[in-house]
Amino acid sequence: MAKDLIASFGEMLIDFVPTVSGVSLAEAPGFIKAPGGAPANVAIAVARLGGRAAFVGKLGDDEFGRMLAGILRDNGVDDGGVLFDTGARTALAFVTLRADGEREFMFYRNPSADMLLTEAELNLDVIKSAAVFHYGSISLITDPCRSAHLKAMEVARQAGALLSYDPNLRLPLWPSPESAREQIMSIWDRADIIKVSDVELEFLTGLESVEDDVVLTLWRPEFKLLLVTLGEKGCKYYTKDFRGSLDGFAVNTVDTTGAGDAFVGAMLRKIVDDHTVLQEEEKLREVLRFANACGAITTTKKGAIPALPNEAEAVELLKRD
């Protein structure tokens, strides 16, 4: 079997997004349900771009959980690693869209099914067959999911997968900012590829700067690629041999949900086909330009999954620019 599977590990949930932008949760006249959860978004982003994707995680054995599993399948994502918990609900998040398209979150997970995934329940066959194993940090917050996460990383690494990490900071879910920083950094050195946003960079370094000297405090000799996304301003990239930056694309932003996931999915989709992208700067710049385009397109519609682009839409934006 061709080794081109990208397996994504972690949470999938339902975002409830206000029907109007720029209001608080209390002021919202109503909500639209939007499937989400960063690792699941990445899996669907990969599949929508024609890649092979699998999702590993746990959902509630409820209407929302079954709906989410159906969405994975409908989008061509392998759901062989998905489990259902009869005792816990699928996680929910209420997400306000401020007037500038940025988000604020209120979560319902006490505990939700994704937090209850155990080591013994992991589908190791899916994990072992992955060329890239992608994960976030939300699954590190509490056991048993934390132990399952660490075990899955270990199995993927032993099977020769590239490990891809997007911390995807959601402070309201952590007991404290200190605990978030400590746990996010606890697995930092084990990844091959890490993507952080400018906001996460500031949180992890304690410095309000995206200058190279600040970013490089997070660099490790084991890394193949470190990325900092800068929203509409594009991204910066660092490898052991070269570093640089790329501008973003000017689009009409409606909702930034899922833009980072679209970026990661697009990048992994290209890297899985050609690992030399990580050694050749010209190739990497081309891949990151494609990833920037996918991220930008995702901000032009509400919700993450409905907004994730296909290859033709990305190519269209690249041509236009």
User: One of 261, 273, 274, 321 is an active-site residue; which one?
Assistant: 261
Question: Any catalytic annotation for residue 261?
Answer: yes
* Structural contact between residues 258 and 307, judged by C-beta atoms closer than 8 angstroms: yes
Give the torsion sign (CA, 67, 91, 104, 313).
negative
Strands, DSSP E only, in 26-76? Answer: 31-36, 52-60
Helix axes 259-271, 281-298, angle to 10 degrees: 150
Q: What is the 3-state secondary structure (H, E, C) of the chain?
A: CCCCEEEEECCCEEEEEECCCCCCCCCCCCEEEEEECHHHHHHHHHHHCCCEEEEEEEEECCHHHHHHHHHHHHCCEEEEEEEEECCCCCCEEEEEECCCCCEEEEEECCCCHHHHCCHHHCCHHHHHCEEEEEECCHHHCCCCHHHHHHHHHHHHHHCCCEEEECCCCCHHHCCCHHHHHHHHHHCHHHCCEEEEEHHHHHHHHCCCCCCHHHHHHHCCCCCCEEEEECHHHCEEEECCCCEEEECCCCCCCCCCCCHHHHHHHHHHHHHCCCHHHHCCHHHHHHHHHHHHHHHHHHCCCCCCHHHCCCHHHHHHHHHHC
Per-residue b/e over 258-285, b at no fewer than 16 CB within 10 Å? bbbbbbbbbbbbbbbeeeebbeeeeebb
Which residues are tagged catalytic? Answer: 261
